[in-house]
Structure 1
Amino acid sequence: MDNDKDVIEAIERNGSTPDKLIEVLIDVQNHSGENYISEGKLRAVSDALRVPLGKAYGVASFYSMLSTKKRGRYVIQVCNSVPCHIYRSMDIVKALEDVLQIKAGEVTPDGIFSLEYTDCIGNCAEPPSMKINDRVYGNLDYNKVVSIIDSIRKEGV
């Protein structure tokens, strides 16, 4: 099993009852240094909170802020809701695929970026939009996407 230290510490910070499942999963993901929840950690959370593994997996795979798959340090989520789709969010995905040399669902070889689709990110007034970790970007076009990625790379990636 994975290092349970992250799970134990997350439970100490958030509580050990089944209703704390989401909080514990987010905490484990954020403090494990991996930016996703491994199978071992998911099993450890399930056991510690006395929650069926299927329920823990269902929660971890349902919410866009959680992942059971490896992700980059910067998680790029392109909004695929109706307003963004109408305003050509697929062009933004194509721009990101060109710049990062990966496809949606993949992680760059250096582990810095991952690219995903997501449902509405709440920026419907500025489509098309994307979120990188906790920051939202709107009114995107090819050049703006390139500039944003270049800026992140220059910030010390």
Structure 2
Amino acid sequence: MHIEPIKIWERFAAFFIDFLVVLAATSPIATLPILLAEAEATGNFQWSFEREFSRPTDGALAFPGVLSIFAALFAYFYIHPAIGRQTVGQYLLGFRVEGVPGTGKKPAFGLNVLFGYIGLCAWPVSIYLAAKRQDKAFWWNLRSRTRLVRIV
């Protein structure tokens, strides 16, 4: 029985959905220190503010939040395949990431996430290389011994 490979647009759509899920969950927590510092400076807490200048503490307060969002993204994309589960985006589009059977080596899910970030930065090259393959596999899946399978 031939199962159609996961299309490139499905992979991107699932990533975009998952990215929004992680961002929605982590952004409120990551921005809280900035909001609290602004409340301390103005004496009034608000969930959003606008100003035409920056404070010396803005960068120091934003940097840990940005790092925590990146760490949450990495963990989200690493943990789901490591425990054999789909992400929200993968669930909605009907596929999941798993290790390639019969390789004799464990799948490198962390490497898959890391290389996937690099592949997204070089997306024209990544899409070109995947489109040339019959299975539509991206180079980072091949390097990390992972594959995408349709859930039917």
> Same fold judged by TM-score > 0.5?
no
TM tier relative to shorter chain: under 0.3
- Relative to the length of structure 1, the TM-score reads 0.24
| Structure with larger Rg | 2
- Relative to the length of structure 2, the TM-score reads 0.24
